[in-house]
Structure 1
Amino acid sequence: MTATPPRWSSVSLGDICEFKYGKSLPAGSRDGGPFSVYGSNGPVGGHSSALTDGTAIIIGRKGSFGEVHYSSEACWPIDTTYFIDRGATSVDLKWLSHLLPTLGLTKMNRAAAIPGLNRDDAYAKRVMLPPIAQQKRIAAVLDQVETLRAKRREAIALLDELVRSTFLDMFGTLQQDWRKVHVADLAVSEKGGMRTGPFGSQLLREEFTDEGISVLGIDNAVKNEFRWGERRYISEEKYQELSRYTVHPGDLLITIMGTCGRSAVVPDDIPVSINTKHLCCITLDRTKCLPEFLHSYFLEHPESRSYLSKVAKGAIMSGLNMGLIKALPVRLPPLEVQQKYVRRVAGIRKSRMLHEKYLATLDELSESLQRRAFAGRLWDHEAA
């Protein structure tokens, strides 16, 4: 058992801070002033006056409950939030802003009808309280790591915008001599060129295994790039039954259930895998269309966005299905123009992958430092 560091104490969160209630400020009443207006998801506008006494921590109460945001200046948290300002605590606010996200506040919902965070549940959490000087030291260390993470995220966002602007520069203006086709015309002619995964009793949850053939789902495409999320497998025997749903390198995945309208290109090093019913998988005829082009077209082209907004229902495209995707119109440039685009963005995407790799390393470092910091083990050598 790890000994409590000298002059640290175990306390309840409610002993060291108060979650104050935010105050309603409808969008029509916000005048765009210099003070940020915060909702559960973060800043949602500006106003000419503030509710907090200077620097504040904002915690989602409803909606994105338990989410934590830090404002270095006075602000106006609305009524879907709690807030902590200097009048609500005697601890270092920056230290507290790093501590709160580690307490699992986003999992504390107990309301069946309207999910939300009850502050009494948060108050009951036990935390280790260091002296104020160590609070400031811990906050300074975690701030440095967070600054590095923020710079990586900013770089990734800039690279994403560069890919987007490159695409729109090349293809955003319709070329009348480029023939107009539909996505269904671009798939390979063999049966199953466009497909969704197995339905109903074809694949039951209890048939998933701890290892074997990978099964791809929404989480693999939800970030608009291929990522390994939750790993799911089926046995080799089950795969033989479902082999017609095999995913191939370069296939285009589009989410059609849950969070719909997201897309990713399957990487070249994909192991043998199938897709679930939540994905539309397209194997393209690459003598007509390159997957990297169609991926960008689906996400960025004004004509594609206009079509999807008309045919899909709701803000998250809840009405998207394979039939709608097949009918999506594409103004198809010559293959050599598509190849030119792919070459242009290849270096950008490579740079982005490096930033993602460095960010993942920083994320791991941040988690490790948080665990040590809030357990009083960040400077073990000083206690020896």
Structure 2
Amino acid sequence: MSWPTVRVGDIARLNYGKALKADARQPGKVQVFGSGGVVGSHDSALVDGKSIIVGRKGSIGSIWYTEASSWAIDTAYYIDESSSQADLKWLYWTLKSLRLGEMNKSAAIPGLNRDDVYRLAIPLPPLPEQRRIVAILDQADALLSRRRTSIAAVEALNSQLIDNLLDQVSETRRLGDLAELITKGATPTTLGFAFSESGIPLVRVQNLVRGRVDTTVDAKFIDHRTHDALGRSKIRPGDVLISIAGTVGRAALVRNSDPEMNCNQAVAIVRLTDHLDPAWLAAWLNSRRGQTAMNGSAVTATISNLSLGSIANLRVPMPTARRLDEFRTVISRSETARRSLTVSANHLDTLFASLQHRAFRGEL
């Protein structure tokens, strides 16, 4: 199917949002959007009716859609029904396919220039075809969302079961007495090294996700020479990683399947002796009790920091053999369910990407 090619600027106008500081917002039900999504609420709207919000500063190129009246602040653009000749939901899916996040024009603060967006070429199907594409993509997205919701439900149930187990353990020991190493990494550039395009993943706070290390999130790499120079912060399977600056208290267990990694100065490495299961430690750190213990040790100033000494002084519950067996059973069952759901979600992600590609080429 052949459709005419147009520029984004031919069919849409990106309007600047308007500043609305948190202390100026009044209680209300109108969602306030920034570049990263909803940042609060207000009692009046800047944009009436449905709109697309596009990240301009910060989370550049992020795309959000709302059916309700809203307020877009000055870190975002918005496109409302008066600003486009196209079906807005179709335009939303089209913009999401254009990878606007790669169009950064500012080295210091990420920024998206709307003139660059206007120059992008896209195929323009007739309005009825736009709506047919929207119906197909919305249905596929709803299925994917349900799968992600199922994964979140499994993780929530797992957390509740683990919290219950942890609450039944009263004996504690000082973490420093159970560890052979508690250290942290460094930022390579402060030591005269540079990042590389590929190589060894450098773990940062954002890579500690729901008890795991996800090196695909905002990936950074160092070469093998830098990795060897930063030998003390080489990460091994069985290590427990903790975020200690900015967002304090995220914990992740390094698994055998994880790649060789290093970390920066905002991530601590805890390497245990054989007196404690690292999976138990990671679970406790992410539990209510562990979070309370860590946040009580954080130094609150402009930014929160958790010192290595504070980590060493944490009192960790020591499970009996029976409790540890119960814990491992819960973890095993949860992992099996989560793995199955994740494989399904990843498969749906791939199918959805293919569906988007075909939709905008007129192949549906």
The question of 1:337 aligning with 2:323 is answered yes
Q: Who is 2:103 aligned against?
A: 108
Q: Are the counterparts in 2 of residues 199 and 277 from structure 1 also a CA contact under 8 Å?
A: yes
Determine the C-alpha separation between the residues in 2 that align with 1:54 and 1:112.
35
The question of 1:311 aligning with 2:314 is answered no
Determine the C-alpha separation between the residues in 1 that align with 2:34 and 2:198.
41
Determine the C-alpha separation between the residues in 1 that align with 2:341 and 2:186.
36
Q: Who is 1:372 aligned against?
A: 358
2:17 equivalent among 22, 25, 32: 22
Determine the C-alpha separation between the residues in 1 that align with 2:9 and 2:283.
49
The question of 1:86 aligning with 2:81 is answered yes
| Structure with max Cα Rg | 1
* Range moving further from structure 2, 301-310 or 364-373: 301-310
The SS at the match of 2:68 is coil
Q: Are the counterparts in 2 of residues 304 and 329 from structure 1 also a CA contact under 8 Å?
A: no
Q: Are the counterparts in 1 of residues 56 and 111 from structure 2 also a CA contact under 8 Å?
A: yes
Q: Who is 1:350 aligned against?
A: 336
Alignment of 1:137-148 (within 5 A): 137-148=132-143
So what's the TM-score if we normalise by structure 2?
0.81
Q: How many correspondences in the alignment?
A: 357
Q: Which amino acid aligns with 1:281?
A: I
The SS at the match of 2:89 is helix
The question of 1:360 aligning with 2:343 is answered no
Q: Are the counterparts in 2 of residues 12 and 127 from structure 1 also a CA contact under 8 Å?
A: yes
CA gap 1:353/1:32 in 2 versus in 1, 3 angstroms: farther
Determine the C-alpha separation between the residues in 2 that align with 1:375 and 1:209.
31
CA gap 1:281/1:145 in 2 versus in 1, 3 angstroms: same
Which string of whole-angstrom CA distances, capped at 9 and with x for unpartnered residues, describes residues 333-352 of structure 1? 43432332232232123211
The question of 1:120 aligning with 2:106 is answered no
Which string of whole-angstrom CA distances, capped at 9 and with x for unpartnered residues, describes residues 181-200 of structure 1? 22221225xxxx44556997
Q: Who is 2:287 aligned against?
A: 300
Q: Who is 1:182 aligned against?
A: 174
Determine the C-alpha separation between the residues in 1 that align with 2:24 and 2:292.
32
The SS at the match of 1:164 is helix
Q: Are the counterparts in 1 of residues 47 and 71 from structure 2 also a CA contact under 8 Å?
A: yes
The SS at the match of 2:83 is coil
Q: Who is 1:251 aligned against?
A: 239
Q: Who is 1:165 aligned against?
A: 160
Q: Which runs of 5+ in 1 are unaligned?
A: 380-384
Q: Who is 1:328 aligned against?
A: 314
User: How far does residue 147 in structure 1 lie from its aligned partner after superposition?
Assistant: 0.9
Q: Who is 2:272 aligned against?
A: 284
User: How far does residue 69 in structure 1 lie from its aligned partner after superposition?
Assistant: 0.5
Determine the C-alpha separation between the residues in 1 that align with 2:341 and 2:354.
20
Q: Are the counterparts in 1 of residues 11 and 86 from structure 2 also a CA contact under 8 Å?
A: yes
Determine the C-alpha separation between the residues in 2 that align with 1:116 and 1:159.
37
Over aligned residue pairs, what C-alpha RMSD do you find? 3.6
The SS at the match of 1:87 is helix
Determine the C-alpha separation between the residues in 2 that align with 1:199 and 1:65.
24
Determine the C-alpha separation between the residues in 2 that align with 1:150 and 1:207.
35
CA gap 1:233/1:338 in 2 versus in 1, 3 angstroms: farther
Determine the C-alpha separation between the residues in 2 that align with 1:220 and 1:74.
32
Which string of whole-angstrom CA distances, capped at 9 and with x for unpartnered residues, describes residues 272-328 of structure 1? x46445554333234x322222102212233543434543456875x3454442233
Determine the C-alpha separation between the residues in 1 that align with 2:206 and 2:19.
38
Q: Are the counterparts in 1 of residues 188 and 194 from structure 2 also a CA contact under 8 Å?
A: no
The question of 1:133 aligning with 2:133 is answered no
Q: Which runs of 5+ in 2 are unaligned?
A: none
User: How far does residue 9 in structure 1 lie from its aligned partner after superposition?
Assistant: 1.5
So what's the TM-score if we normalise by structure 1?
0.78
Determine the C-alpha separation between the residues in 2 that align with 1:253 and 1:73.
41
The question of 1:267 aligning with 2:255 is answered yes
The SS at the match of 1:54 is coil
Q: Who is 1:226 aligned against?
A: 213
